[in-house]
Amino acid sequence: MSYTGWIILTASLVGLSCSLIGVFLILRKMAMMADAISHTVLLGIVVAFLVTRELSGPHMLIGAVIAGLITALLVQWLYQLEIEQHASIGIVFTTLFALGVILISTSVGNAHLDVQHALMGEITFIPWETITLPLIGNVPEATALLAIVLIIILISIIAFYKEWKLTSFDPALAASLGIPVVLMHYLFMSLVSITTVASFDAVGAIMVVAMLITPAASAYLWTDKLSVMLVLSGIFGVISAVTGYIIAARIDTSISASMAFATGIIFLISFISSPKHGLVSKYTRPSISSLR
Amino acid sequence: MSKTVLKVENLTASYRKNYVLEDVNFEIAQGSLTGIVGPNGAGKSTLIKTLLRLHPPITGTVDFYGLPFKDAQRVIGYVPQRGSVDWDFPTNALDVVVMGLYGKIGWLKRPSKAHKRLAYEALQKMGMETYANRQISQLSGGQQQRVFLARALVQDADFYFMDEPLAGVDAATEKAIMAILKELKSYGKTVMVVHHDLQTVEDYFDHVLFLNRTVVKHGKTLQVFTKENITKTYGGNLRIHFAEEESHVVHPL
């Protein structure tokens, strides 16, 4: 495959994985948690590197999951100590992220890990770092990792679809029916972590939040059905990734920033014109309250 | 004498370091319809949540049918407060009712046509079948509460806990819900309801549990629903409280 082809494929995989996970982030009202985890996985990656001295996929995934779970646990713990939820998130993730930054500049400091790269990502380097897979041949490592993560996400969502739905909508009923709500919560946090770390190379910690939240928030405006919301969010994610690349290539700018910008455009269009919740329909359609 | 289906001993629970429930003791007989009443902050919701292990107890034992909660979970139904969920969630009324069956359907399985039929029948019972495909945010408060009741019915539990099912609903819904509660009782099912309206307690419930951090009084409505016990539970604010209740009656929605 061509150089451009790999980049577009990688970007689309980022868009798809992030936007699917994002649907549940939105519905569980945990958008802020995505922001937190996208930063703390940096610490996970750094520590994984310090322990194993290599930057390979599986190590990074494990490091990220541990960092993500620690973030979720610490936030929960602070919250129980009567610190407001959003403040807890703010305290935990900035501290862990700062620790990651300090470790990079003092103990790691090499060409493969730097703060700039972690924050912004660099998708243009991705096609150069290849691994050889059986049957498929030479594949960029980041792309292979993203494909694996996407498969994990798809399997988790499909297998536990009704459990995700119920624990998001009504966790109290879910618990009273014997569904392990807490376990599902941490499983979900793990999924967010691996999605983030797999997208790290391509779009970085800051832009990954755009890919996680915005396509799902846009899809929410178009539909009243969870399955449709998932499909729409996925489509929006891929469209943003591809248009983002095209914009970047045209005006020669950062690919990750253009992708994030594209998600914003899609949201704006949705916000104005969606038939259910859009600005235009609010004025052209009688409101629900007046129908009652 | 009917058999005891719930036995609570020495139950204590706190919420963010404050004791909300202290030394709660009571027994519930099978087939009873109990109203839990008490002032705001008396721990009514917390009591239900603690009994159902949704909130951790500090001390105390809770026995359902002589078993710990985990072993009795299958036969217990719960109707949370309407305000506890996000009604903008992308789903419709029928789907919410099917959720009541998720425990029975089991892992890795999808709800079948039969499950959906059961859910539809439950909606019919609550007079909500025409709204089956309606997005839940487009239902009125009373309709949303009926969907929650339908979801409880479909669970086919033996013991139901309901948190303020009559709060903020229209008169027709209140009537429909009370009819269902009486029907459940007639099948020998046990129901405990957090209730806020002292005016209707005598009509609706055969047992009353006065709660204010601990059980002030518990027994048959005819015997314990007295001015004295109400004053004891609500303290000096009784008059104000009654005035409030009357204003509800004067201005029905």
Identity of the amino acid at A3: Y
What's the mean pLDDT when you consider all of chain A?
89
The residue ranges of DSSP E strands in chain A, in sequence order, are 130-133, 137-140
Q: Which residue has the tokens 């998001």?
A: A168
Per-residue confidence (pLDDT) for residue A117, from 0 to 100: 76
Q: How far is CA A95 from CA A43, A75, A119, A197, A200, in A?
A: 10, 12, 16, 18, 19
Chain A residues with CB-CB distance to B91 below 8 A: 165, 169, 224-226
Is B204 within the bounds of a domain? yes
Nearest CA in chain A to B69: A176
If you average pLDDT over residues A241-251, what whole number do you get? 95
Is B109 within the bounds of a domain? no
Q: Please report which confidence band the pLDDT of residue A33 belongs to, taking 50, 70 and 90 as the band edges.
A: very high
Q: pLDDT digit string (tens) for A45-75?
A: 889 988 888 777 788 889 989 999 999 999 9
What domain range includes position B181? 4-85+157-250
The tokens of B92 are what?
Answer: 């419709």
Is A287 within the bounds of a domain? no
Please state which of the ranges A200-204, B27-31, B114-118, B175-179 shows the lowest mean pLDDT: A200-204
Q: Do B90 and A225 touch (CB under 8 A)?
A: yes
Is A238 within the bounds of a domain? yes
Residue A237 has pLDDT above 80, yes or no: yes
Q: Please report which confidence band the pLDDT of residue A23 belongs to, taking 50, 70 and 90 as the band edges.
A: very high
Q: How far is CA B174 from CA A234, A289, B120, B137, in A?
A: 43, 21, 21, 20
Nearest CA in chain A to B74: A177
Residue B203 has pLDDT above 90, yes or no: yes
What domain range includes position A219? 3-123+137-274
Nearest CA in chain A to B76: A176
Is A267 within the bounds of a domain? yes
Residue A113 has pLDDT above 90, yes or no: no
Q: Do B78 and A176 touch (CB under 8 A)?
A: yes
Is B187 within the bounds of a domain? yes
Nearest CA distance, A284 vs chain B (angstrom): 18
If you average pLDDT over residues B142-153, what whole number do you get? 96
Cα–Cα distance for residue pair B104/A178, rounded to 1 Å: 10
Per-residue confidence (pLDDT) for residue A136, from 0 to 100: 81
Is A168 within the bounds of a domain? yes
Cα–Cα distance for residue pair B169/B182, rounded to 1 Å: 18
Contact B86/A at CB under 8 A? yes
CB proximity list for B247: less than 8 A, separation 6 or greater = none
Residue B46 has pLDDT above 70, yes or no: yes
Q: pLDDT digit string (tens) for A155-192?
A: 999 999 999 999 999 999 999 999 999 999 999 999 99
Contact B106/A at CB under 8 A? no
Cα–Cα distance for residue pair B212/B223, rounded to 1 Å: 19
Contact B138/A at CB under 8 A? yes
Cα–Cα distance for residue pair A234/A266, rounded to 1 Å: 13
Q: What angle do CA A185, A188, A193 make, to 5 degrees?
A: 130
Total domain count, chain A: 1
Q: Do B78 and A172 touch (CB under 8 A)?
A: yes
Note whether B161 and B192 are within 8 A (CB): yes
Per-residue confidence (pLDDT) for residue B246, from 0 to 100: 47
Chain B residues with CB-CB distance to A159 below 8 A: 108
Q: Please report which confidence band the pLDDT of residue A120 belongs to, taking 50, 70 and 90 as the band edges.
A: confident
Per-residue confidence (pLDDT) for residue A207, from 0 to 100: 86
Report residue A14 CA to chain centroid gap: 8
Which H helix or E strand runs over B43? none
Cα–Cα distance for residue pair A190/A201, rounded to 1 Å: 18
Per-residue confidence (pLDDT) for residue A82, from 0 to 100: 83
Report the complex ipTM: 0.90
Q: In terms of Cα–Cα distance, which of A214, A220, A215 is closest to A277?
A: A220
Is A84 within the bounds of a domain? yes
Per-residue confidence (pLDDT) for residue A126, from 0 to 100: 85
Is B134 within the bounds of a domain? no
Nearest CA distance, A47 vs chain B (angstrom): 34
Is B131 within the bounds of a domain? no
Per-residue confidence (pLDDT) for residue A80, from 0 to 100: 84
Total domain count, chain B: 1
Residue B167 has pLDDT above 90, yes or no: yes
If you average pLDDT over residues B89-106, what whole number do you get? 95
Q: Please report which confidence band the pLDDT of residue A109 belongs to, taking 50, 70 and 90 as the band edges.
A: low
Q: What is the CATH number for A57?
A: 1.10.3470.10
Q: Please report which confidence band the pLDDT of residue B251 belongs to, taking 50, 70 and 90 as the band edges.
A: very low
Per-residue confidence (pLDDT) for residue A127, from 0 to 100: 86
Q: Do A173 and B140 touch (CB under 8 A)?
A: no
Query: Which range has the top average pLDDT, A137-146, A251-260, B84-93?
Result: B84-93
Q: Please report which confidence band the pLDDT of residue B122 belongs to, taking 50, 70 and 90 as the band edges.
A: very high
Torsional sign, CA A229, A232, A235, A241: negative
Is B148 within the bounds of a domain? no
Is A280 within the bounds of a domain? no
If you average pLDDT over residues B225-237, what whole number do you get? 86
Q: Please report which confidence band the pLDDT of residue B242 belongs to, taking 50, 70 and 90 as the band edges.
A: low
Cα–Cα distance for residue pair B134/B96, rounded to 1 Å: 11
Contact B165/A at CB under 8 A? no
Per-residue confidence (pLDDT) for residue A290, from 0 to 100: 46
Is A17 within the bounds of a domain? yes
Residue A83 has pLDDT above 80, yes or no: yes
If you average pLDDT over residues A36-52, what whole number do you get? 90
Q: Among B80, B99, B135, whose Cβ lies nearest the Cβ of A224?
A: B135
Share of chain B above pLDDT 70, in %: 92
Residue A137 has pLDDT above 70, yes or no: yes
Q: How many CB atoms lie within 10 A of CB B215?
A: 20
Q: pLDDT digit string (tens) for B53-91?
A: 999 999 999 999 999 998 999 899 999 999 999 999 999
Q: Please report which confidence band the pLDDT of residue A128 belongs to, taking 50, 70 and 90 as the band edges.
A: confident
Residue-by-residue DSSP string for A125-139: GGGGSEEEETTTEEE
Per-residue confidence (pLDDT) for residue B235, from 0 to 100: 83
Q: How far is CA B62 from CA A185, B27, B28, B46, in A?
A: 27, 10, 11, 14
Nearest CA in chain B to A292: B140
Q: Please report which confidence band the pLDDT of residue B19 belongs to, taking 50, 70 and 90 as the band edges.
A: confident
What's the mean pLDDT when you consider all of chain B?
91
Torsional sign, CA B108, B113, B119, B122: negative
Q: What angle do CA B147, B200, B52 make, to 5 degrees?
A: 50
The tokens of A230 are what?
Answer: 């998932």
